[in-house]
Structure 1
C-alpha cells in the first residue's frame, strides 16, 4: 500500500488518527475514533467510524479524474442515505466530501470469538474450521450447518431481496461485503460497499447480483456452499412473497437460471 496515498488522506482529514482496514482497486477504507462534526469533548473513545477514501488516479486527466471521483463518491453517499430512508440495513451516512472522494459513515459489525471481524465470510470460515476440529465427534450435529448458520443465510437472502425490491442492485455481492451485527444474541446481516451499486428495473441485473453472490460462496466455501445458497434463496423468495411481489421473484428466478447457464458455458469454453 502506498504511503503517499495514506499521507494524502491524512492531510485531507486534518491529520486525525487513522487505522487502515482494507484497500481495493478504487478506495482505501480507514477506521477512526474521530467524528467529523462533534467537538473532542463530546466524542467517545469507544465509538468508531469508517472513512472510505477514493484517491486520485494519476493516469487520468485531472479534470476528468475530479469528475469521476466526485460523481462516484456522491452517488454512493446518496445511495447510503436512500437505504437509511427505506429502512434497509447498511452503514449510516455521516458526512461526504465529493471532490476529495471521502465518505464518513458509522462503523458496523463486531468481533467473532476468534478475534476476526464479523463479516459473513469470516463467520462461515469460523464455523467450518470449528467443525473440522471436531471431526472425531461424528455423531454430533454439524456446526457449519447448524440453525444459527441457516438463520443467518436466510436473513442474508432477505436483505438482498429488500435491496432488489427497491430496484437497487449491489454490483459486488460477496461474503466479504456482508457484515454481521449482533442484536439480542442474534446475528443480523448488513450489506456494505455500495461503490458499484446502481438503480435498475431489469430482472436480469438482479439475477446477476444473485449469481455473483452464489459464485462467491461456491469459491470461498466450497464444501457447504450448496446448503448456504439454498437457504439464501429461501430467504430471498420468502421476502418477495411477503411483499406480494411473487411475480417479480418468478422473473428474477427465471433470469438466474439463464445467467447460470451462460456462466457454465463460459467455464466450458475457458
Structure 2
C-alpha cells in the first residue's frame, strides 16, 4: 500500500529522490535532497527538505476528497505563512500543490548523538537515558529550553493561532549559538481561534504528551513550560491584554484537566 502511495506522489513530482520518514492517517512525510527551483538554495539547512503529501482517500467520493485535500493543504500552508510573518519559528515554505495535497518545505532539526532527529521528545529521551539522568534532566539547560517552549506557545496563542496537535514530537530543536531553540512543525490540525478553551486544550494535549513520554520528570517539565507561557503574556507589546488572556486560558486549562480526570475515572 505504501509503495502505491509513493508512486502516486512520484507521478506529481517526477525524478525526485524520496525517503519516507513518517506516515499518519492524514499524510505521508518524505525527506528529499532536491529543491524544486534551485540547485543552490539559501535556506538554513539547504541539503535536505521535507515533502508532506496528502494522498487521495479511496473511501471518500473523489470530488469531495479533492475539495477536502485542497482546503486542508492550503489551510496548513496559510498557517505556516502567517507564522513566518510573525517570526514564530517553523519550517519555511518552498512550494505548494494544493490540488494534489503537496507541501514542500524546509527541513528543520539535526540528528542527536543517538541518531534520532532533535525533537523535544527525542532530546529529553536522550538525556533521560544518560548516566547522570537526574542532574541533566533537572539542570538549567532543560529548564531554560522548557521555558522557551512555553514562550513559543504563548506567542502562538497571543496571535489567536492554535496548533491542534501539540506534542513533544512536534517541537523541533534547532541549534543557535550552541543553544537549543524550539520550533513548531506539523500544522495539519491547526486553526485560528481566540477562545480560551481552544488554547487550554492545546496546552493540555502537550501536558498529557509530556506526562506519557517523560513521566519521571514530567511535573518539572510542564511547570517550566507554563512559566514560559506566562512570561510570553507579560511581554511589553502584549501588556494591555496579555495578563487577562493568560488568566482566562489557565483557568480554562484547570477545567479541561478536571474533565480529563473524570474521563479517565469513567474509562
Give TM-score, length-normalised by structure 1: 0.94
Q: Which residue of 2 aligns with 1:109?
A: 109
Cα deviation, residue 46, structure 1: 6.0
- Whole-Å separation in 2 of the counterparts to 1:84 and 1:20: 26
- Name stretches of at least 5 consecutive residues in structure 2 with no aligned partner: none
1:183 aligns with 2:180: no
- Whole-Å separation in 2 of the counterparts to 1:134 and 1:215: 25
Q: Which residue of 1 aligns with 2:67?
A: 67
Q: Which residue of 2 aligns with 1:166?
A: 159
Pick aligned residue for 1:149 from 142, 150, 154: 142
117-126 or 105-114: which moved more?
A: 105-114
- Whole-Å separation in 1 of the counterparts to 2:9 and 2:15: 8
Q: Which residue of 1 aligns with 2:98?
A: 98
SS in 2 for 1:188: strand
Q: Which residue of 2 aligns with 1:224?
A: 217
Query: Are the counterparts in 2 of residues 16 and 34 from structure 1 also a CA contact under 8 Å?
Result: yes
- Name stretches of at least 5 consecutive residues in structure 1 with no aligned partner: 136-140
1:266 aligns with 2:263: yes
Q: Which residue of 1 aligns with 2:232?
A: 239
Change (3 A) 1:98 1:179: same
Change (3 A) 1:212 1:43: closer
Q: Which residue of 1 aligns with 2:192?
A: 199
Cα deviation, 1:152-196, whole Å, max 9, x if unaligned, reads 111110111110011000000000000000010000000100000
- Whole-Å separation in 1 of the counterparts to 2:2 and 2:116: 25
Cα deviation, residue 223, structure 1: 0.6
